């Protein structure tokens, strides 16, 4: 990436996530942020402060907005990053692409298939890209596993699993007090509300949208008890949400079938006590990786572990399989943000946006991964009936234009971009 080239990026949604991401974004060489926006005035003001206090700030004019449409109308930008609530990402992204900007937004699921198609059609019509900021695609563990898959160490991959298993009972329940968007979703929707943290890396392992696609899914939801128990114990009987009939089941399980026969199981689990885990699992004809918790992952693999009947700790093996991006990153100094992956996903976006190049997570990936949410809601509503998953590439998945190779590529490990000579260029 040309470090000297400047790019003007606006940021919308400056709550907890937006503040952290804006801070990181401003550490990427060449990034200038002349406009920030949040509909909550203190948060818009906080955005202004983050920009002005950043080390890279050179005294340029920065404006804050309460309305993203006004921001788009008044500012001359190259790109927009969106850290707002799930149901607002797409509409802001569509408006930004229509205004001629490349766009990236935080993870979340779609409310409708129409929303996903609108992203695809707007990106195709405007020539502007739309990238889901799925940071987990750039986690060290996920990248090492991708590297291993590409080296054929798993053999043929047959089944993958993953989940978003995160005890968020306080964050969800106190949504109104903290102006945080999850609560309304859990009150009103029942499905796989947050599929992409593990579906993103799994899709890249399985070549989804490039030679493979997701065909259909089934979803089932458990009963909902966890939030009620938390509210009873922490807020008491006088709290207005005491005894509320939450729509979202505590554990939602989704199984996806792919065109080449693979299956994917996703678990959404945010309302019961448990340590954080994305429970990643990859099973192939030569080996199996299984994440028990964030700090405990296991491996068996022909020719790598002593036996395929005894687990070994993945930590003992990761260094030899590190993705070259992570070897370089570790050498250069890992930046904060979920163990370093946040900086990498933002860097991947900036690299593509600076030169209007294809991003490593494109609008087809974004649409397909997000669509799982509204489709799982439909399946749950119909007692677990199978639901077809649209092909957002419109047939092109069997013969796509070549992907762009590079350091942030998620289709292939491009070793040649990491040689000393390539780095010196």
Residues in touch with ligand NAD (CB under 6 A): 12-13, 15-18, 37-40, 43, 68, 83-86, 88, 106-108, 135, 179-181, 338
Which residue lies nearer to ligand NAD by CB, 10 or 284? 10
CA-CA distances (angstroms) from residue 42 to 20, 49, 80, 172, 194?
A: 16, 10, 20, 21, 27
Q: How far is the CB of 14 from ligand NAD (least distance, A)?
A: 6
Structure token digits, residue 268: 């959404």
Sheet of strand 312-313, all strands in order from the earlier edge strand to the far edge: 312-313, 296-301, 287-293, 281-284, 157-165, 263-269, 251-258, 214-221, 387-388
Q: How far is the CB of 12 from ligand NAD (least distance, A)?
A: 5
How far apart (Å, rounded) are the C-alpha atoms in residues 415 and 425? Answer: 15
Q: How far is the CB of 384 from ligand NAD (least distance, A)?
A: 26
Q: How far is the CB of 256 from ligand NAD (least distance, A)?
A: 21
How far apart (Å, rounded) are the C-alpha atoms in residues 38 and 46? Answer: 9
Q: How far is the CB of 36 from ligand NAD (least distance, A)?
A: 10
User: Which run of H or E residues covers position 357?
Assistant: none
Which residue lies nearer to ligand NAD by CB, 129 or 164? 164
Which residue lies nearer to ligand NAD by CB, 22 or 282? 22
Which residue lies nearer to ligand NAD by CB, 107 or 258? 107
Q: Do the Cβ atoms of 337 and 329 come closer than 8 Å?
A: no
CA-CA distances (angstroms) from residue 336 to 12, 29, 152, 177, 248?
A: 21, 16, 32, 28, 32
**Residue number with the smallest Cβ distance to ligand NAD:** 15
Which residue lies nearer to ligand NAD by CB, 86 or 364? 86
Q: How far is the CB of 369 from ligand NAD (least distance, A)?
A: 13
Q: How far is the CB of 86 from ligand NAD (least distance, A)?
A: 5
Q: How far is the CB of 165 from ligand NAD (least distance, A)?
A: 14
How far apart (Å, rounded) are the C-alpha atoms in residues 140 and 323? Answer: 8
Question: Helix (H, G, I), strand (E, B), or coil: what is residue 236?
Answer: coil
Q: Do the Cβ atoms of 135 and 21 come closer than 8 Å?
A: no
How far apart (Å, rounded) are the C-alpha atoms in residues 24 and 337? Answer: 8
Question: Helix (H, G, I), strand (E, B), or coil: what is residue 102?
Answer: strand
Q: Do the Cβ atoms of 219 and 248 come closer than 8 Å?
A: no
Q: How far is the CB of 58 from ligand NAD (least distance, A)?
A: 26
How far apart (Å, rounded) are the C-alpha atoms in residues 43 and 74? Answer: 20
Q: Do the Cβ atoms of 251 and 219 come closer than 8 Å?
A: no
For residue 373, the 8-state DSSP code is H
Which residue lies nearer to ligand NAD by CB, 191 or 207? 191
Q: How far is the CB of 278 from ligand NAD (least distance, A)?
A: 10
Which residue lies nearer to ligand NAD by CB, 56 or 88? 88
Q: Do the Cβ atoms of 351 and 357 come closer than 8 Å?
A: yes
Which residue lies nearer to ligand NAD by CB, 136 or 387? 136
Which residue lies nearer to ligand NAD by CB, 83 or 280? 83
Among 332, 355, 345, 346, smallest CA distance to 410 is for 345
Which residue lies nearer to ligand NAD by CB, 42 or 114? 42
């Amino acid at each position: 990436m040309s470090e000297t080239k400047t790019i003007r990026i606006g940021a919308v949604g400056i709550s907890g996530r937006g503040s952290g991401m804006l801070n990181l974004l401003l550490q990427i060489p060449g990034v200038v942020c002349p406009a920030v926006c949040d509909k909550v005035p203190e948060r818009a003001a906080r955005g202004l402060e983050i920009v002005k206090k950043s080390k890279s700030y050179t005294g340029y004019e920065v404006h804050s907005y309460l309305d993203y449409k006004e921001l788009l109308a008044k500012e001359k930008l190259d790109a927009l990053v969106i850290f707002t609530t799930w149901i607002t990402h797409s509409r802001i992204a569509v408006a930004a692409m229509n205004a001629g900007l490349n766009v990236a937004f935080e993870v979340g699921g779609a409310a409708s298939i129409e929303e996903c198609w609108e992203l695809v059609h707007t990106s195709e019509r405007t020539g502007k890209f739309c990238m889901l900021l799925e940071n987990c695609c750039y986690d060290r563990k996920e990248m090492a596993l991708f590297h291993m898959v590409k080296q054929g160490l798993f053999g043929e991959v047959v089944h993958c699993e993953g989940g978003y298993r995160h005890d968020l009972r306080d964050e969800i329940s106190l949504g109104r007090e903290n102006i945080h968007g999850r609560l309304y979703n859990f009150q009103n929707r029942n499905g796989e509300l947050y599929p992409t943290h593990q579906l993103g890396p799994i899709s890249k392992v399985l070549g989804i949208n490039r030679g493979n696609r997701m065909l259909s899914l089934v979803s089932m939801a458990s009963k909902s008890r966890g939030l009620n128990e938390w509210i009873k114990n922490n807020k008491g009987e006088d709290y207005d949400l005491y005894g509320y009939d939450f729509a979202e089941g505590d554990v939602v399980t989704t199984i996806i079938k792919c065109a080449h026969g693979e299956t994917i199981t996703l678990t959404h689990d945010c309302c019961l006590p448990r340590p954080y885990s994305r429970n990643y699992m990859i099973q192939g004809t030569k080996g199996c990786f299984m994440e028990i918790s964030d700090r405990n992952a296991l491996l068996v693999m022909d020719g790598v572990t002593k036996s395929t009947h005894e687990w070994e700790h993945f930590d003992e093996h990761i260094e030899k399989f590190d993705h070259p991006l992570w070897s370089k990153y570790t050498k250069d100094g890992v930046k904060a943000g979920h163990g370093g992956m946040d900086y990498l996903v933002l860097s991947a976006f900036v690299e593509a946006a600076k030169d209007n190049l294809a991003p490593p997570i494109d609008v087809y990936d974004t649409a397909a991964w997000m669509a799982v949410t509204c489709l799982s809601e439909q399946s749950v509503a119909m007692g677990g009936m199978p639901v077809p998953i649209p092909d957002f590439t419109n047939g092109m998945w069997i013969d796509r234009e070549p992907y762009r190779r590079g350091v942030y590529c998620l289709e292939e490990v491009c070793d040649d971009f990491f040689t000393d000579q390539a780095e010196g260029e």
